[in-house]
Amino acid sequence: MKYSIIIPTYNSKKTIIKLLDSICKTKEQERFEIIVVDDASTDQTYDAIKSYPIRYIASNKNKGSAHARNRGAFAAQCPYLIFFDSDIILKHDTLDLLIKSIEGQNENHIYMGIYDEKPVQKNFISEYKALLDAFHWRNIKTCEVTSFEPRCAILKKTLFEKAGGFDETFIGADVEDYELGYRFLNMNAKLLVNPNIRVYHHFPLTLKKLISTLFFRTQSWVQLFNNRKKFDNVGSTKESAFACGISGLSSFLLPAIGFENAALIAFIVMFFLYYLIFSNFFSHSFNKKGIKAGLKIIIFHYFICIIIFWGAIFGIFKILFLKAISQRVQYHNK
């Protein structure tokens, strides 16, 4: 065996079965060691997957995906690590393309795939998220990116070990992947995306889940940004940050636009700027989904930008609060 597939799982009994099925359909399955790390699931995950050809590692306490991925990666017996999230389904050529991308390449190169624009589920939120994510990654100006995406990635085990693995102080599914990616970059590793390598994804089914994920991940990302002082070149870009800032500020004008002409004009100008920044994505949405769905996506994306804006605001307040506490402690210790 040459490749260890690492799959962290927590209460994902239904989705991980589909992932394992898609892996087992792959040719030359004997090349792969499949390691499933169960992060203290309570939904009988083991009973659902015990018949598959896997190495099963169980945690007795829920410690988050960073801990689960580390346990699997450091226990791996093969020279190459392949990371998959437990809520994806491989396309027929996903593994083959991942392997071909890294074989014979520099040992500091990490290769990653993207989500397909067709989600597993068929509902507006899932289709919106799949369309947005696929659009970002399929239209990147360079394949060399600044964020690590372990949803579908391959790298040398020695590189992972040299980096020290994921930071396990991140609890749950947070920004541990971004943080590790930044450490890879500091080691002069290259994070390379191949948009032809794709997987299907079970995107969030509910608005509540999507809002919660974006709000808390934005808070954490702002704290990473505070240390690094750099934007990413895909997704969390300067342009996206500006658009979310414009959207958040314009939302303060909404209560007044029916009463004040100045508020209405200011809102229109700000909304136009928001639209202009994402105009390529919106045009793509119209082409793929039609006018009605495209208009719905424009409004919904505006709402999502407001959520991200408030996540960033709370993240900034956290930084300022922690800084104030630290200064106070230092003052009293003098």
Contact 160, 107 (CB under 8 A): no
Q: What is the pLDDT of residue 334?
A: 61
**Residue-level pLDDT at 114:** 95
Which residues are CB-neighbours of 40 under 8 A, at least 6 positions away?
10, 58, 59, 60, 61, 62, 63
Token pair recorded at residue 182: 């930044």
Q: For the purposes of burial, counting CB atoms within 10 Å of the CB of 176, is it exposed (0-12), middle (13-18) or buried (19 or more)?
A: buried
Confidence at residue 231, expressed as pLDDT on a 0 to 100 scale: 93
Going from the N-terminus, what domains does the chain have, and what CATH number goes with each? 3-205 (3.90.550.10), 238-333 (no CATH)
Asked if residues 266 and 179 have their Cβ atoms less than 8 Å apart, the reply is no
For the chain, 334 residues long, give each residue's pLDDT as a single digit of tens.
Answer: 699 999 999 999 999 999 999 999 886 677 899 999 999 999 989 999 999 999 999 998 999 999 999 999 999 999 999 999 999 999 999 999 999 999 888 899 999 999 999 999 889 999 999 999 999 998 887 889 999 999 999 999 999 999 999 999 887 667 999 999 999 999 999 999 999 999 999 987 789 999 999 999 999 999 999 999 999 988 899 999 999 999 999 999 999 988 889 999 999 999 999 999 999 999 999 999 999 999 999 999 999 999 999 999 999 999 998 888 777 766 666 6
Beta strands 80-84; 3-9: pairing state? parallel
| Longest distance between any two alpha carbons in the chain, whole Å | 69
Three-class secondary structure of residue 244 per DSSP: helix
Query: Which helix or strand (DSSP H or E) is residue 72 part of?
Result: helix 65-75
Which residue is associated with the tokens 């060399």?
144
Residue in the block written with tokens 């898609």: 22
Closest CA to 80 of 33, 39, 117: 33
pLDDT computed for residue 207 by the predictor = 92
Distance CA 177, CA 66 (A): 8
* Closest among 108, 61, 60, 115 to 91, alpha carbons compared: 115
Query: Is residue 289 exposed (0-12), middle (13-18) or buried (19+ Cβ within 10 Å)?
Result: middle
- Residue entry with tokens 């809002």: 211
Give the pLDDT of residue 317: 94
- The pLDDT of residue 329 is 67
What pLDDT is attached to residue 116? 95
pTM of the model: 0.92
The pair of three-digit structure tokens given for residue 198, joined into one six-digit string: 């794709």
Q: How would you label 60-98 residue by residue, b for 16+ Cβ within 10 Å and e otherwise?
A: eebbbbbbbbbbbbeebebebbbbbbbbbbbbeebbebb
27, 138, 204, 237, 312 from 130: Cα distances, Å: 27, 12, 10, 19, 23
| Whole-number Å distance between alpha carbons of 217 and 173 | 9
37 forms beta bridges with 8, 57
Q: Which of 135, 20, 7, 19 is nearest to 69 (CA)?
A: 7
Question: What is the pLDDT at residue 104?
Answer: 82
Residue 156 CA, chain-centre distance (Å), reads: 21
- pLDDT score of 28: 67
